[in-house]
Amino acid sequence: MPICYIDQIKDLKDKKVFIRVDFNVPQDETGAVTEDTRILGAIPTIRYAAEHGAKVVLASHLGRPKGEKKAKYTMTPASQRLAELLGIPVKQAPDCFGTEVTRLIDSLKSGEIVMLENVRFYPGEEKNDPEFARQLANGCDVYVNDAFAVSHRAHASVEAITKIIPVIAAGFLMRDEMTYFDKAMSNPVRPLVAILGGAKVSGKLEVLEKLVTKVDKIVIGGGMAFTFLKSMGYTVGKSLVEDELIPTAKKIMDTAKERGVKFYLPVDCIVADVFEATATNFVTTAQEIPDGWMALDIGPATATLFAETLRDAKTVIWNGPMGVFEMDAFCRGTFAMAEAVANCFATTIIGGGDTDSAVRKAGVENRVSYISTGGGAFLELLEGKTLPGVNALEVA
Task: Encode pLDDT of 65-77 as tens digits.
Answer: 999 999 999 999 9
Phi-psi region at 95: left, alpha or beta (left = phi > 0; alpha = psi -120 to 50): beta
- Tell me: cis bond preceding 191? Omega within 30 of 0 counts: yes
333 is catalytic: no
Task: Encode pLDDT of 343-362 as tens digits.
Answer: 999 999 998 878 998 999 99
In angstroms, how far is the first alpha carbon of the chain from the final one? 6
- The partner residues of 288 in beta bridges, in order of sequence, read 235
Domains 6-174 and 188-382 share a fold: yes
Q: How confident is the model at residue 396 (pLDDT cuts 50, 70, 90)?
A: very low
Domain covering 188-382 in this structure, CATH number:
3.40.50.1260
What torsion, rounded to 10 degrees, do the Cα atoms 387, 389, 390, 394 define?
130
217 is catalytic: no
203 is catalytic: no
Q: Which among 275, 309, 268, 316 is positioned nearest to 289, based on CA atoms?
A: 268
The one catalytic residue among 200, 251, 262, 360: 200
Q: Which secondary structure element, helix H or strand E, spans residue 297, and what is its range?
A: strand 294-298
**pLDDT for the residue numbered 395:** 67
Q: How confident is the model at residue 181 (pLDDT cuts 50, 70, 90)?
A: confident
Contact (Cβ atoms closer than 8 angstroms) between residue 331 and residue 270: no
**Mean of pLDDT values over 315-330:** 95
How many C-beta neighbours within 10 Å does residue 137 have?
A: 23
The one catalytic residue among 15, 20, 38, 332: 38
Q: How far lies 339's CA from each of 80, 304, 353, 362, in Å?
A: 34, 11, 18, 7
Reply yes or no on domain 6-174 having CATH 3.40.50.1820: no
CA dist., res. 210 & res. 42, Å (int): 30
299 is catalytic: no
Question: Where in the chain are the domains?
Answer: 6-174, 188-382
The one catalytic residue among 171, 323, 353, 374: 353
**Mean of pLDDT values over 263-278:** 96
Q: How confident is the model at residue 378 (pLDDT cuts 50, 70, 90)?
A: confident
Mean pLDDT over all residues of the chain?
94
Q: Which secondary structure element, helix H or strand E, spans residue 325, and what is its range?
A: none
**Mean of pLDDT values over 258-271:** 97
